[in-house]
Structure 1
């Protein structure tokens, strides 16, 4: 089922697959299509909800609207209530992991468990000020028109090793207009709001939070931020197959690991 839901400042596009306990897959800036293969694999046993975040792809945003983690959390809460299928296990990846943590923080009654896969919570690491300064520069460069230069800076800050020619091939030349629009929205309205968000750790300690890190992400910034979050919450990180986008790069392998985690969550928590 594909549908839309009107929320404050926005209209959300969402998809529902399968039957069973509710599992919500969420990204930022990743949209529903990025999670579609994983959702299809889970649908035989779960009701799987995916969406385009506010302002991304098929989800609209009113002029002057914003996309802060607490707003995205409210969007998720409204969707769960609209479906009347909660509480949900929420897998959030990257900026979506920040949205999922905000959901657990502000709407705990709607969340069974959160699997926060590599949240970029930059303020939790010691060099946060330096990271923020570099991020502000790359956001400004992108919005000024230096697309490939900004992406090179982005990957350098994230400590993801990509040759310059690969970055130029990925982000230069003719590109899909929808992808470009989502990317522009990320740099203009999502990135700063996401990486500067500081969770209420006391509230999250009362929630059931699994911190996920990709097996191939060692040494990357999101490995560091996720490890810092796990340390603050007093939990051991859970390793998932692949890297930062393992759920999309190898959905079959990721789904196997996620199914094992979901089985534990539904049996013992």
Structure 2
């Protein structure tokens, strides 16, 4: 039985699909989506349904392919025939949109992946992944019986480990891809990862306002630059 697709839709114009970070809960993204809705039909995908009544229910370990397949089904449901969508993902959502572009490129006009934590692509990736997991996991990780009670608990228990092990492969569609990192993240691991991925995958690199949580801390400026990135001709649909 196919799982239901949990998403929210606002605005009008070309379709822009958003995949949030963490465990995919769109908490705090209201100001960003409101600004983007001036130019796009914004479809915010909640892959685990955490904002749609499923928070607290059991969650299996996640894979980027789980989220990208769901995102593809969302696009097939909302896109008019013959049209392509813009896609934005941040953090773990950024990893999911890289997988979406690799596996389902046909209906994508452009993709922006913001600070995806797939650090194993780096030459010292194994060490950097261990450090990243150590910073986020450890004493903050909830016990197994309480892992599904909060979005952060779901992220630590079921998303962090498999997603940070992901190695993207997007060689056929690099011209449609922008890797983004926050200006406040300069010198940090995920800024370095985004730059490395842009070079490896043949995509563009762009700085966005704020740091890893720029979507929440600077929603107006972030949305403005995201709109410009998609609509300025930087991406093509060919």
TM range (shorter): 0.7 to 0.9
Q: Bigger CA drift: 219-228 or 131-140?
A: 131-140
Residues 23-32 or 37-46, more deviating: 23-32
Range with greater deviation from structure 2 (34-43 or 53-62): 53-62
Q: Mind listing any 5+ residue stretches in structure 1 that lack a counterpart? A: 1-6, 146-176
TM-score (norm 1): 0.76
Selected match of 1:142 from 140, 143, 161: 140
CA distance in 2, matches of 1:215, 1:179: 33
Q: Are positions 1:107 and 2:76 aligned together?
A: no
Q: How does 1:1-269 map to 2 (within 5 A)?
A: 8=2, 10-29=3-22, 30-54=24-48, 56-58=50-52, 60=54, 63=58, 65-85=60-80, 86-135=83-132, 137=134, 139-143=137-141, 181-205=150-174, 208-265=176-233, 268-269=236-237
Q: Which stretches in structure 2 are left out of the alignment for 5+ residues?
A: none
Quickly say closer, same or farther: Cα 1:73–1:235, change in 2 above 3 A.
closer
| Residues 210 and 218 in structure 2, CA contact (< 8 A), matched pair in contact too | yes
| Contact residue 113 and residue 265 of structure 1 kept, 8 A | no
Higher relative contact order (CA 8 A, sep 6+): 2
Secondary structure of the 2:184 match is coil
Q: How many equivalent residue pairs?
A: 230
What is the CA distance between 1:59 and its match in structure 2?
6.1
CA RMSD between the two structures: 2.7
Cα distance in 2 for residues equivalent to 1:80 and 1:20: 15
Provide the C-alpha distance between the structure 2 equivalents of 1:220 and 1:191, rounded to a whole number of angstroms: 18
Report the alpha carbon displacement of residue 63 of structure 1 after superposing the two structures with TM. Answer: 4.7
